[in-house]
Chain A
């Protein structure tokens, strides 16, 4: 394990919020590493981050820098909050740079309801959502599909939902990559992954995954013009945020390819600093197969969140006895924060296609980006930052600086600061639930031990994370949200 003093001796301050670990720090680094953090956040960061980030900097074909966002913490292989882009010809693809939960991501839905209207119905609403969006171990989704339909989902993503009556046409325009990553091929997906995932569409999972009812307050509308573009206009307005991914389907694909890559690396004698950094040349057969399988899981995750939104619309309709459209219930955006994608970015002044890995990092495309939906092209891409269930979340917007500095990437949440095991020892889930209710946050959880692990004190302060993003200008906050109701696994 690296001692923190060894890192701090060599770390260079580039600006108030950017720190650089030079190539000379560790043998084998192909590029320097850069961390976006304040003095305080850097000091508090898990020491494992420095070791893992500099290991990433050693991977073949990496471009410019290995980045860590301010919500970064110790993961496995890559740190969470890690961003790395690779040359598709000479570089690699690494499942450890994406995460087992492929296309874990965020979705934000607006309503035209106010806190005043929702408050009296909050408990029945949360209880109904808890029933309609299953969370926790072994829960199955309402959708019963054949293996062939699952293959359609893998290839076509969110548009499958709209074609089958689980969404509105305009929803698809408000999803990263229009809800479908190209190149997905079900042949590359194991029978095991299919068996694990086929009944899990429309389920939340557990851990830090959630569905949350949140409200806008006057002091939290930071950029009203852009907020209006995102359909957030009134203090007291109610929104719904969802955090989840590709469930057992994606997890199995991650597990399968971690094993396969270990064998490939042995064959081609590709050594890495950590087994969890298992990777394969992007253009190799195995690298391509993983990319195609990853795209299948990513598309399944877009569908999972779309089906959950469908259930949200149904639940609101049942509780308020109105058609969903009458309450708005429009999708603002859906972003992926565990993914690798082929994107064009500037390298030495000219545009180049790169394999951008984001693990606990959100795409943050600035205004005018051709790949952005027309609806938001003028203002930039919505970026959804999920906070802890006690403190709140933010909606931000992408910037040109992110395009120039971080391969169009920013943070993904507030980031954990305390381990799950430690958090569980510090608070009792039932007591936390009662205490939160007193503060006006009604939580329903499948597991009380799981709830304890998600206590607010186990996370960094989201406002500090947002402040760093603002100072670095890799995204700008538009609105902040306060939680009032939450369901978890």
Chain B
């Protein structure tokens, strides 16, 4: 999975940059980065499939809403995911998310509160898409 944490941005928050060969893969990797911020995903078995659909005016708001949904499901349905399959069609996104209900086998890192739009950007670089955004921790 292609993402990296950024060390020197947003002191009290966690920032990452993800990339992918196409939009679908970029969104999958950004979702995986979000999951890794919450938990060591190696400890999350893929027992449950949850499918979500999102419609937004632009790609950046779509990414914001998609990642926010992962944070929402953690609290509202006690669901943690470790694999994502994303299909984007213009302004519509369908994501298949694989994971489990929260359990004692999971090695947690941080209870992510929210996704922010701080420096959220989707860029096309030599056919590779790149994004950086931040999850707010405080």
Contacts and interface: CB of A to CB of B under 8 A. Distances in A.
Nearest to B60: A275
Q: Which of B38, B61, B64, B114 has the most CB of A within 10 A?
A: B114
Contact of A419 (B8, B38, B75, B102): B8
Interface in A66-111: 73-77, 80, 99-101, 104
Contacts of A258: 116-117
Interface string B6-22: 11111111110000000
Contacts of A489: 110-111
Interface in A256-273: 258-259, 262
A136 B75 CA distance: 11
B74 A137 contact: yes
Nearest to A79: B11
B110 A419 contact: no
Interface string B83-127: 000000000000000000010001111110111111010000000
Interface secondary structure of A, over-half rule: mixed
Contact of B108 (A104, A136, A205, A255): A136
A205 B138 CA distance: 10
B39 interface: yes
Contact of A275 (B7, B9, B65, B117): B117
A434 B102 CA distance: 28
B78 interface: yes
B12 A255 contact: no
Nearest to B64: A259
Interface in A435-456: 446-447, 449-450, 453
- In the complex, which range does the number of interface residues on chain B fall in? 35 or more
Contact of B113 (A75, A80, A251, A446): A251
Contacts, number: 141
Contacts of A417: 11
Interface stretch (A192-200, A300-308, A362-370): A192-200
A77 B138 CA distance: 14
Contacts of B129: none
Nearest to A200: B75
A252 interface: yes
Interface in A297-337: none
A276 B108 CA distance: 28
B64 to A, nearest CB: 7
Contacts of B138: 80, 99, 101, 104, 207-208, 360
Interface in A181-239: 192, 195-197, 200, 205-208
Given A73-B11, A416-B12, 15 more contacts: A76-B10, A76-B117, A80-B138, A136-B108, A138-B74, A138-B80, A207-B113, A208-B138, A276-B116, A276-B117, A360-B138, A420-B14, A446-B108, A447-B107, A489-B111
Considering the complex of A and B, which 6 residue pairs feature the smallest CB-CB distances, nearest first?
A: A76-B118, A138-B102, A206-B111, A248-B75, A195-B76, A100-B114
20 contacts: A46-B11, A80-B11, A101-B138, A192-B76, A195-B75, A205-B113, A247-B75, A248-B113, A255-B68, A255-B71, A255-B114, A274-B118, A275-B120, A360-B138, A419-B8, A420-B11, A420-B110, A421-B14, A447-B110, A450-B109
